Every structure is written in C-alpha cells, then in structure tokens.
Chain A
Amino acid sequence: MLKALLYKEWIKLRWAVIAIAVLTVLSLAYSIGMINYYIEFQGALRNWMFVISKSLLLRNIIFVKVLPLITGLAFALLQFVPEMARNRMRLSYHLPISEKKLLLSSVGIGFMFLLAEIVFLFFGLWLVISLSYPVEIIQKILISTIPWFLGGSAIYFLTSFIILESSWFYRIVYGIIAYGLIELNFRASVYDQYQLLWILVLIVAVMPLTVLFSGHRFRRGTK
C-alpha cells in the first residue's frame, strides 16, 4: 500500500520536484556568477571583508532562504488541494489503510521530497561557496541556513494541515499560528545568530502530527 501511495504522491509532485530542482540548479549557477562578479569588481580581499564583516553572502544567497519556503508551500498545495477539491479525500479514506497512517504517510512522503530538495540545495550551496571561500565562512553560512530549512519544513507541514482542515474559521486561525511559527525561523540578520536551535527543530518535529486532527475533523464532517 505504501508503494502505491508513494507512486500516487509522486504523480502529484513530479513536475514540481523537477521544476524546483531545475530552479535550484539555476539559482546555484546564478549565485556562482554573482559571487564571481563581486570578487571581480570588489577584489577578492574586499569581497571577503564584506562577506566577513557585513554578512554579504546572506544577501547573495537569498534564494536559499526563499526556495525551501516556495518548495514547502508548492508541495503542500499540490498534494492536498486536489484531495480536498470536491471532497476527494473521502475516496482515499476508503483505501485499505487506516486514516492516520494514510495522512502521516502522505505528509511523510511529501516531506521526503522536500527534504531531498533541501539536501540538494544544501550540498549545492556548500559546493558553490567552497569554490571561493575558506572553511570558516563555509561553516558559518551552512549553519545560518538551518533555520531557513526549518522554516521551509514548517510551511510544508502547516500548509498541509491548513488545507486538510474543512472549516474556514479554523483555517484562518491556523494561518495566523503558521505565520508566527514560520517567522520564528527568519529572525537572523548575520551569520550563525541562532542559539538553542534544537528547540526550533523540536517545534518543527511535532508539526506533522497536526494533520491528524484536521483529517479527523474532515472525516467527521465537522464544520
């Protein structure tokens, strides 16, 4: 059954997965061009100084902040909007798999694809910045991206949770909560600014379970 579910979700997500992967490659290529441009026109040392003291790279790699958010949002919309349109989700509930397992598997599979995109982006970024910068800068940049990836994961789980909810009142409440939780991951303005990052990881880690409540309410037809 899981294989069939995986195939079903893949059918829904495949074009988005490919599109985001292409977008990631293009963004990485663009950032190589941009970094080279800065190094050429500012001079290597001056560029390093801006990168070290003014957190210039955080602006040069703004796509790393945005892409996980777009990916998480797109995956959740593509996976669950068709299910909720004309209440098609009810059909899925007739599959020989428990409702909870079905929902958690769907979210798990979607997150797996999101994680794959994030890992691809992470290692791509690692490769790009290691072409021009020393290990100290690479370390700081990579650590700085972790909250952004958590933000991307949060938007995926919370959008899925909002779409699966059948009441518009609840959706608005959840939307406000989602904004607050996602924003929490985007408060840094310089490298490696977050302390106790594991608390944010923990908050995101419990988010997948929220879909169960929405799914349960949908099954009961509660408005």
Chain B
Amino acid sequence: MLNKLSRYIIIGLIVIVAALYLPDFFSMLFDKKVNKPRLDYSAVIDEFVIARAAKMKKTEYRDINGNTYSEREFFKLLPFTYYASLEKWQELMPELKGFKLTPRNIRKNSQFFSIKTKYIDPPSVPLYMMFEAEPKYAQLSIPDDVFRLNTKIEFIDPVSNSVIDEKSTRFQKAMLDAGFIFPADVIASNPTNRKPFDEGFFISDAQGYVFQLKMIKDEAVCVKTDIDPNLNIRQIFVKENLRKEFYGWILTQNNEVYLITYDKYELVQLPSTCSEEQYNYNADEMSYRFFTYPINKHIQIHGDGFIKMMVLDNDFQPIAEHLETWIPYAERPASLVKQFIFPFELFTYMPSKYVKLQIEFFWWQGLIGIGVSLLALVLFSRKRPWFDYVIVLFTGVFGLIGVLLIKPED
C-alpha cells in the first residue's frame, strides 16, 4: 500500500513540475510578439494619433481618421512629448492654444505618474525616513534616523539600534494632538532626497482619516485633512513637484483614483471607468497613467489587449476618449492551443511583486487534452491500476507523463 502511495506521490511531483514548466515553455516557443500601438492625443489637430510598428522595422504614424504622417510630421503633432527633438530640428511651433512653447516652459508645466500593479502594497520593510522639510542646505539631506509607525511612532538610531525616546515622544504628541488614532493604516511618502522639496507622509489612521505628517525645523507638523474617512483607501502615492498642483494620488479598494490637491487637500476624482465595463480600471491587472500637460490632461488605462485613453481639459472635464484593442494573450493562437493541450497550468508569477504558487484551469478546452491523454493511455498502455486512469482524468497530459514514466511495481 505504502509503495503504491509512494508511486503516486512521485507522479504527483511530476504533475507539479510538468504543470509549472511545460505550459510556460509552450508559450515561450510559440507565442508571437503582438504589435501594440502607441496611442496619444494631439492638441494640434485635436485628434488621437497612433504610432505602430510596420513591416521592414519601420513605424507607421497615423491619426484615427486614417491620415498618415511622416515621423517629423507626427512629432510636430505632439509638441509636449517630442519638444526636445523638435527644438533640435528648430521645428517647435512658437505657440499652441495660447501657451508659449519652449522646452523649459513645457517641462515646468508637465507632470506624469503611473500606477502599476507592482507598486501596490509591494513586499517591504515597514521602516520609514522622515526628511527635514526646511533643510539648511540647497538639497534635502538624508536624516540620521528611521522610524516605525504602528501602534505608536518610534524613531530609531541606526548607530546604536535603539529608540530615540525624546523625538518619538514629540512626534507621538503632535500626532495625538492632531486627532490621530493609532494604529496607523496606510503610510505613504516619496522616500528619496532627489526631489525639490519634501511633503512628508500621508498616513491614514485607525478610523480612516488621512493626516499629513512633516518635520519642519526638527519639529513634527501633523495636519488632519478633510479627506473622506470612508474612501476605502488601498494605497496613497506621494510625489513632490514644483508645479504644486497635487501632493499625490490615492487608489481606493474600488479602483478609483483621486488626486490630493494643494487646495486644502481637496480631492479630484480622475476617470477610471468607461462605457464598456471590461475596460474599467482594475488595479490588480492593469496599469493607470496620468499625464498633465499645459493645455490638457491625458489618462491611459493599459490592460491585456487594449489601451483606453481619455483626455480632460484643465478643469478635469472630459474632452475625448478612444479605445485601441489588439488580441489579448488568452485569445492568441499559442494560448488557445495551450488550453487544449493542457488541462491547467501552475505558475508563481503575479503582476504584483509577490511569488505565489497558483493554478489556472482551462475548463472545457482542457477536456480535449484530457480525452486524448486518456485515449493514449488506453491504447498504448493497458492493464494499469484504475487509479492511473483517475490521475489522467484529472491532470491530463501531465498525469499521462507521470503514469507512463513511473510504471507500477507489484
């Protein structure tokens, strides 16, 4: 009995390894690169424009009405993106819709951010660095300590690896005085000194209220914002920019995106849904990009098989939207054939930064592979223990490999 069990464990291990590597290997061998378009919006012609790889390693440039352009003509349609090259070619137009186009002017009035799945709650060590927001020197300097923030705030001296009581007490008091209720929930900052200034931390407390915590001249400054505590915040992102339009952005559990503006922390909701539900932003699978230019704002939602682009005016009112699609991975020939051959696949990849052993079943398509595997077992290798057939019935070609390789021993 134990010998039989041992055999089936070996077959089980073969199934695991086969299901981990074979479908992956199959995709690697047969999947073809997809020609994904680059979508943008031209404020010059007020139309969406597309750059796409064409034959002979060339790129095809056109707008969505079918007009085609040369590379230079295309660049001239997008002065906010290609201003450096246009300036070099001396083809940067002097003015567009009342805005004076100079590289410096464009840079000063543009900002970009993206929310990728790997940015959301990545594996990290919960220790943080508080910069001095009004430093003595021209640049922000790296502080001498780090802090932990959970049921209380504690600054730690890395040299002695011990808590700095006095500073911890001061910050704890400032937070409590501002109405902060421990433990802290979402903690966000931009942990680099390569930024023009520091806006400190945005922290949500136990009741969902959001606070801004900064250090000015070594003193804690904690401000309770009016951000709705029922927003169901998933992650806050902070990015200091000299434009000072927004401190950062918020992603909620419902996949909504909000900017935290400098106007008393007023939130501005950015569009994340559209008329076709399958293209609504889903933070676990898609990436979200926001571009703010001097005369408008662009939003792009990138998913498997599509780019959805929305254009807003400077008051965040929608101007235009466009959807470009291509064949998603699940519908490409390599993936379809894979689903017919294998009943399921195991993988550890996640769009986030974690490693997690997961299974994906191919359901009815997989039944074909299972049927063929069972037939092969019946035709080529009869007189088998009944449980071998059960294994092949549930694991298809993976189980077939296992039971054929590991023959039963009486």
A contact set with B: CB distance below 8 Å: 44-49, 51-53, 100, 131-134, 136-137, 140, 170, 173-174, 176-177, 180-181, 184, 187-188, 190-196, 199-200, 203, 206-207, 209-213, 216-217, 220, 222
**Of B122, B127, B356, which one neighbours A134 at CB under 8 angstroms?**
B127
A181 near B143: Cβ-Cβ < 8 Å: no
CA A189 – CA B16 in complex, angstroms? 22
At the interface, yes or no: B357 with Cβ under 8 Å from chain A? yes
Given A49-B142, A192-B123, A209-B2 contact (CB < 8 Å): yes
Report the bound CA distance from A176 to B159 in whole Å. 48
Any A CB within 8 A of the CB of B6: yes
A176–B405 alpha-carbon span in the complex (Å)? 13
* Known contacts A44-B159, A210-B13; 15 further A-B pairs (Cβ under 8 A): A134-B161, A136-B126, A136-B127, A176-B17, A180-B16, A184-B357, A193-B355, A194-B356, A195-B354, A203-B13, A206-B9, A209-B2, A209-B5, A212-B2, A222-B409
CA–CA, A170 and B161, complex, Å? 54
Complex Cα spacing A199 to B146, Å:
35
B358: min CB distance to chain A, Å = 8
Total A-B Cβ pairs within 8 A: 116
Contact of B20 among A45, A133, A184 (CB under 8 A): A184
Interface of A is mostly: helix
Contact flag A190-B353 (CB < 8 Å), given A45-B146, A213-B6, A220-B409: yes
B6 in contact with A209 (CB, 8 Å): yes
Q: How many residues of B contact A (CB 8 A)?
A: 42
Report the separation of the CA atoms of residues A170 and B14 in the bound assembly, to the nearest whole angstrom: 12
8 A Cβ contacts from B1-35 to A: 2-3, 5-7, 9-10, 12-14, 16-17, 20-21
Tell me if B226 is interfacial: C-beta within 8 Å of chain A. no
The 11 sampled A-B contact pairs (Cβ below 8 Å) are A45-B143, A51-B125, A132-B161, A134-B161, A137-B125, A177-B13, A181-B13, A181-B17, A184-B357, A196-B356, A213-B6
Q: Which residues of B contact A203 (CB under 8 A)?
A: 13, 16
Minimum CB distance partner of B128 in chain A: A52
Q: Would B191 and A216 count as touching, CB distance under 8 A?
A: no
A47 to B21, CA, bound (A): 38
Chain A residues, CB < 8 A from B144: 45
Q: Which residues of B contact A53 (CB under 8 A)?
A: 191
Q: Which residues of A contact B356 (CB under 8 A)?
A: 194-196
Q: Are A180 and B145 in contact (CB under 8 A)?
A: no
Q: In the complex, how many angstroms separate the beta carbon of B227 from the nearest chain A beta carbon?
A: 27
Contact (Cβ within 8 A) B17 A194: no
Instruction: List the A side residues contacting B21 at CB < 8 Å.
Output: 180
B410 vs chain A, min Cβ distance (A): 8
- A15 CB to closest chain B CB (Å) equals 31
Say yes or no: A217-B13 contact (C-beta < 8 A), given A46-B142, A190-B123: no
